Structure 1
């Protein structure tokens, strides 16, 4: 009996069971919250290294026991952790700046729109946060952040008809300083006129991007343990969307009238592509991919993630 293989087999069975139960709505499990306990994986790996070469049956059973105890503890902690829900409200395209919001630690960032901006790049680098994007009509970029005590900064550069916005989490001497048990809220609006490229790089957290009313050329997402929801519209003819994740849930909505092709390199990840057919090259495509005037190309990479693409 190879205890090392059994141990990692238990880990994969655990992850698959959690994904299955969550997909059927039987549990509410947050991979983003679980990310703060990543040192437990180091403990598990250390125990495997110490006892994997032992011929003593007690050592092999110790590996299995530690694996079961760690996974059980993480499950109990996660399921009993109060889940944070968010209601995003935009009032008449204006930010509310009340005393109550200032007391909660709300911060505001904005850049004015210029009609010369044909292309806009938004680069987001953040810690444990809940990011929301929707369309805006007044400013090029607006953001309202809560519970992060000014830990973001906004920088703008421009060249000819292209503007680049860098919206980054500040670093202190100890690295990113976030309270992982309570995600900060980062609400953003982007102007409808430019053609956007959006890059998001985060460790743990959540992202809800409603880009259906924006002209979007590309969306690139990188995350460790996070939940991503992205809705793409049909206002740009050739969209590229890429997601590279560790242990995450990725949900993508695309228009029915757009042709779409999905390329995957997903290891043990779960995949659900409703309305897609597998092609000879191993990709997945909609029946109207060749004939559609608007096309979306999706590239998915993940170690142990849950990918879903749906049409609306």
Structure 2
């Protein structure tokens, strides 16, 4: 057993050490986003090793260690791949530049032609300093759209990137949002379809570079919706925290995609059936559901810490509240996570 553990840790140190060294020497350029989806191959190899050495007692220690190493790498690859999927919707829009110094990085600017004259250099430095000063100023925003009497259904899409987001209360408008950011502005728009008696509201962070200095990130949005329409809600949050209270809203479908975040979601009992889809990478998710509502939970993901309040296990990955079949109102949850903590609370 000691030999197996030593082989696992020794193998991990050698593999990661070699990769890091080759990367620092510019001898290795790996596109991990193309390799990580094939992490199950490591499990196949581990199974083949077990089958090949299953009857050889004298090699059991070494083979066990090799299998442990392969499984560990496979689990690590699976977690990273799932987290990348949760970030995928923002990958072409966001560039996080971590900077713990007071001076910004000029590498991108230095890539321009070296033969620019002094006047151009001064203009560029002036523009750079102006942007740096503006980066420190908070950007406040207020967005609202009027509620029309004919609107019966509405869609809300949030692309939050990174920050702190909350939703609660009710507004006479169709939608209201107060935002504050030290990074970039938010963008909002709406579209109305009178034939379908529906509306769609979009709120997203402006495309750009997120510069996180000294570990501080200030980005907040408080959102309110009108409680009259039936809502389909899509939340995309890369990193940060979210506190969403939907108890006063008629939520027909809720979809949540998050990478590294702390999420608290409270559902209501306004409709006969509500569907919730959650996809999380490395996150903590708390889902509050009324006791008057029947709840069914479908879970996919081996590395999930779970706490199911008033939920019975029906089969592998399937949980139900005792009164699910008899309940007039039901909430059906589909949860897919990488390395997550999921808590179901009844209130």
**TM-score clears 0.5:** yes
> Which segments of 5 or more consecutive residues in structure 1 lack a partner in the other structure?
11-41, 51-102
Q: Is the 8 A contact 1:132 1:186 kept in 2?
A: yes
After TM superposition, give the deviation of residue 44 of structure 1 in Å. 7.2
Write the distance in 2 (CA, Å) between the matches of 1:223 and 1:277: 27
1-structure distance, mates of 2:202, 2:16: 37
Residue 225 (structure 1) aligns with:
260
> Does structure 2 retain, via aligned residues, the 8 Å contact 1:128–1:178?
no
Is 2:49 the counterpart of 1:46? no
- 1:287 maps onto 2:322 in alignment: yes
Summarize the Cα distance change of 1:297–1:128 in structure 2 as closer, same or farther, 3 Å threshold: same
Tell me the matched-pair count: 227
User: Does the CA contact (< 8 Å) of 2:154 and 2:200 recur in 1?
Assistant: yes
Equivalent position to 1:135, from 150, 163, 169: 169
Secondary structure at the aligned position of 1:142 is classed as strand
Which residue of 2 is the match for residue 240 of structure 1?
A: 275
Change in CA separation of 1:206 and 1:45 when aligned onto 2, cut-off 3 Å: farther
- Computed over aligned residues only, the root mean square deviation of the Cα atoms, in angstroms, reads 2.8
Question: Aligned ranges for residues 3-42 of structure 1 at < 5 Å?
Answer: 5-6=8-9
Q: Give the structure with the larger helix fraction.
A: 2
TM, length-normalised to structure 2: 0.60
Change (3 A) 1:226 1:48: farther
Distance in 2 (alpha carbons) for counterparts of 1:274 and 1:8: 41
Distance 2:264 2:186 in 1: 22
Say if 1:188 and 1:244 are closer, same or farther in 2 by CA, change over 3 A: same
Q: Does 1:177 align with 2:210?
A: yes
SS of equivalent to 2:303 = coil
Q: 1:47 deviation in Å?
A: 4.0
Q: Partners in 1 of 2:256 and 2:343 — Cα distance?
A: 15
Kindly indicate whether the alpha-carbon contact (under 8 Å) linking 2:183 and 2:210 is maintained by their aligned counterparts in 1: no
Structure label with greater radius of gyration: 2
1:119 aligned to which of 153, 170, 194:
153
Matched residue of 1:247: which SS? strand
1:196 aligns with: 231
Q: CA deviation at 1:4?
A: 7.7
Whether 2:192 is the aligned partner of 1:158: answer: yes
How far does residue 150 in structure 1 lie from its aligned partner after superposition? Answer: 5.2
Helix, strand or coil at the partner of 2:139:
coil
Q: When the two structures are superposed, what TM-score results if normalisation uses the length of structure 1? A: 0.67
What are structure 2's unaligned runs of at least 5 residues?
24-136
